[in-house]
Amino acid sequence: MRTLNSLETVARGTALQSAMLSPLFSVSSFIVEEYNPLPVSITYRFGSDGTPVTKELFPKGSMFPLTKTVTFDNKVGDMDLLVHYSASADILTGLPTQISQYMIKQGKPKHSENPLGASKVKFQFKVQNNIHQIPMLESTELIEEWTEEEKIAIKKPVAPK
Protein backbone atom coordinates (compact mmCIF):
# COMPACT_ATOMS: atom_id res chain seq x y z
CA MET A 1 0.00 0.00 0.00
CA ARG A 2 1.33 3.42 -0.90
CA THR A 3 1.21 6.18 1.71
CA LEU A 4 3.44 8.81 0.07
CA ASN A 5 2.75 11.52 -2.42
CA SER A 6 4.18 10.47 -5.81
CA LEU A 7 6.40 13.57 -5.93
CA GLU A 8 7.96 12.82 -2.54
CA THR A 9 8.81 9.14 -3.03
CA VAL A 10 12.19 9.64 -4.71
CA ALA A 11 13.34 12.23 -2.17
CA ARG A 12 12.29 10.11 0.80
CA GLY A 13 13.75 6.97 -0.73
CA THR A 14 17.16 8.55 -1.24
CA ALA A 15 17.11 10.05 2.26
CA LEU A 16 16.27 6.64 3.74
CA GLN A 17 19.00 4.90 1.71
CA SER A 18 21.53 7.54 2.81
CA ALA A 19 20.56 7.03 6.45
CA MET A 20 20.94 3.26 6.07
CA LEU A 21 24.44 3.64 4.62
CA SER A 22 25.58 6.19 7.22
CA PRO A 23 27.20 4.95 10.45
CA LEU A 24 25.67 7.91 12.32
CA PHE A 25 22.02 6.86 11.95
CA SER A 26 20.09 3.81 13.08
CA VAL A 27 17.25 2.80 10.78
CA SER A 28 14.58 0.19 11.49
CA SER A 29 14.72 -2.82 9.22
CA PHE A 30 12.17 -2.96 6.43
CA ILE A 31 11.56 -4.97 3.29
CA VAL A 32 11.08 -3.58 -0.20
CA GLU A 33 9.12 -5.89 -2.46
CA GLU A 34 9.36 -5.26 -6.18
CA TYR A 35 6.05 -5.40 -8.04
CA ASN A 36 5.74 -6.88 -11.52
CA PRO A 37 3.23 -4.66 -13.41
CA LEU A 38 3.28 -6.67 -16.67
CA PRO A 39 2.36 -10.37 -16.82
CA VAL A 40 4.85 -12.54 -18.72
CA SER A 41 3.96 -15.77 -20.52
CA ILE A 42 5.81 -18.46 -22.44
CA THR A 43 4.69 -20.25 -25.58
CA TYR A 44 6.41 -23.51 -26.47
CA ARG A 45 6.05 -26.35 -28.92
CA PHE A 46 7.96 -29.57 -29.35
CA GLY A 47 9.12 -30.37 -32.88
CA SER A 48 8.26 -28.34 -35.95
CA ASP A 49 4.74 -29.72 -36.22
CA GLY A 50 3.77 -29.64 -32.54
CA THR A 51 0.85 -27.68 -31.13
CA PRO A 52 1.88 -24.41 -29.42
CA VAL A 53 1.04 -24.20 -25.71
CA THR A 54 0.92 -20.89 -23.81
CA LYS A 55 1.31 -20.57 -20.03
CA GLU A 56 1.55 -17.49 -17.83
CA LEU A 57 4.83 -17.70 -15.92
CA PHE A 58 5.05 -14.39 -14.05
CA PRO A 59 1.55 -13.02 -13.29
CA LYS A 60 0.86 -9.35 -12.66
CA GLY A 61 1.70 -8.47 -9.07
CA SER A 62 4.35 -11.15 -8.57
CA MET A 63 7.68 -10.23 -7.02
CA PHE A 64 10.99 -10.12 -8.87
CA PRO A 65 13.77 -11.21 -9.18
CA LEU A 66 12.22 -14.66 -9.49
CA THR A 67 13.17 -17.87 -11.29
CA LYS A 68 10.62 -20.44 -12.46
CA THR A 69 11.46 -24.01 -13.48
CA VAL A 70 9.37 -25.87 -16.07
CA THR A 71 9.84 -29.66 -16.32
CA PHE A 72 8.59 -32.09 -18.97
CA ASP A 73 8.64 -35.87 -18.52
CA ASN A 74 9.73 -38.08 -21.43
CA LYS A 75 10.97 -35.15 -23.53
CA VAL A 76 14.53 -34.58 -24.77
CA GLY A 77 14.32 -31.03 -26.10
CA ASP A 78 13.73 -30.14 -29.76
CA MET A 79 11.66 -27.18 -28.68
CA ASP A 80 10.82 -23.66 -29.78
CA LEU A 81 10.36 -21.30 -26.82
CA LEU A 82 8.93 -17.79 -26.98
CA VAL A 83 8.97 -15.46 -23.95
CA HIS A 84 6.42 -12.67 -24.33
CA TYR A 85 4.07 -10.34 -22.49
CA SER A 86 0.67 -11.88 -21.83
CA ALA A 87 -2.36 -10.83 -23.84
CA SER A 88 -3.71 -9.08 -20.73
CA ALA A 89 -0.58 -6.87 -20.40
CA ASP A 90 -1.16 -3.13 -20.55
CA ILE A 91 1.61 -2.15 -22.96
CA LEU A 92 1.59 0.77 -25.34
CA THR A 93 -0.05 0.22 -28.70
CA GLY A 94 2.50 -0.52 -31.40
CA LEU A 95 5.16 -1.97 -29.11
CA PRO A 96 6.03 -5.63 -29.72
CA THR A 97 4.89 -8.13 -27.11
CA GLN A 98 7.72 -10.59 -27.84
CA ILE A 99 10.65 -10.42 -25.42
CA SER A 100 12.87 -13.26 -26.65
CA GLN A 101 12.77 -16.43 -28.70
CA TYR A 102 14.87 -19.60 -28.33
CA MET A 103 15.39 -22.78 -30.35
CA ILE A 104 16.44 -25.61 -28.05
CA LYS A 105 17.99 -28.58 -29.83
CA GLN A 106 17.31 -32.21 -28.99
CA GLY A 107 19.51 -33.75 -26.32
CA LYS A 108 20.96 -37.25 -26.50
CA PRO A 109 20.45 -39.39 -23.41
CA LYS A 110 23.43 -41.64 -22.62
CA HIS A 111 21.56 -44.54 -21.05
CA SER A 112 18.38 -44.74 -23.13
CA GLU A 113 19.70 -47.58 -25.29
CA ASN A 114 20.93 -49.66 -22.38
CA PRO A 115 19.48 -53.18 -22.82
CA LEU A 116 20.05 -54.13 -19.17
CA GLY A 117 18.22 -51.26 -17.50
CA ALA A 118 15.34 -48.84 -17.66
CA SER A 119 15.78 -45.12 -18.33
CA LYS A 120 13.59 -42.13 -17.48
CA VAL A 121 14.24 -38.79 -19.19
CA LYS A 122 13.14 -35.31 -18.12
CA PHE A 123 13.74 -32.01 -19.86
CA GLN A 124 13.65 -28.81 -17.84
CA PHE A 125 14.39 -25.16 -18.34
CA LYS A 126 14.55 -22.16 -16.04
CA VAL A 127 13.23 -18.71 -16.92
CA GLN A 128 14.33 -15.82 -14.73
CA ASN A 129 12.70 -12.43 -14.27
CA ASN A 130 15.90 -10.62 -13.22
CA ILE A 131 16.44 -7.53 -11.06
CA HIS A 132 15.86 -5.29 -14.09
CA GLN A 133 12.53 -7.06 -14.72
CA ILE A 134 13.79 -8.58 -17.96
CA PRO A 135 12.62 -12.20 -18.40
CA MET A 136 15.22 -14.49 -19.98
CA LEU A 137 16.08 -18.15 -20.36
CA GLU A 138 18.55 -18.97 -17.60
CA SER A 139 19.34 -22.63 -18.34
CA THR A 140 18.17 -25.84 -19.97
CA GLU A 141 18.92 -29.31 -18.71
CA LEU A 142 18.33 -32.90 -19.76
CA ILE A 143 17.92 -35.10 -16.70
CA GLU A 144 18.22 -38.85 -17.03
CA GLU A 145 17.47 -41.36 -14.32
CA TRP A 146 18.26 -44.99 -14.92
CA THR A 147 18.46 -48.31 -13.14
CA GLU A 148 20.82 -51.04 -14.12
CA GLU A 149 20.53 -54.70 -13.51
CA GLU A 150 23.81 -56.44 -13.04
CA LYS A 151 23.93 -60.15 -13.76
CA ILE A 152 26.25 -62.11 -11.51
CA ALA A 153 27.39 -65.53 -12.58
CA ILE A 154 26.81 -68.17 -9.94
CA LYS A 155 28.97 -71.24 -9.97
CA LYS A 156 27.12 -74.49 -9.48
CA PRO A 157 28.62 -76.80 -6.91
CA VAL A 158 30.26 -79.84 -8.42
CA ALA A 159 28.52 -83.05 -7.41
CA PRO A 160 30.87 -85.63 -5.80
CA LYS A 161 31.56 -88.73 -7.91
**50-85 pLDDT per residue, tens:** 899 999 999 998 888 889 999 988 888 788 999 999
Domains and CATH numbers, the chain: 9-147 (2.60.34.10)
* Phi, psi for 137 (deg, rounded to 5): -75, 120
Question: E-strand spans in the chain?
Answer: 40-46, 53-58, 66-73, 79-85, 98-104, 117-129, 135-148
Strands 79-85 and 98-104 turn out to be antiparallel
pTM for this prediction = 0.67
**pLDDT for res 118:** 54
CA 100 – CA 158 distance, rounded (Å): 71
Pick out the chain residues at pLDDT < 70.
Answer: 1-4, 32, 111-119
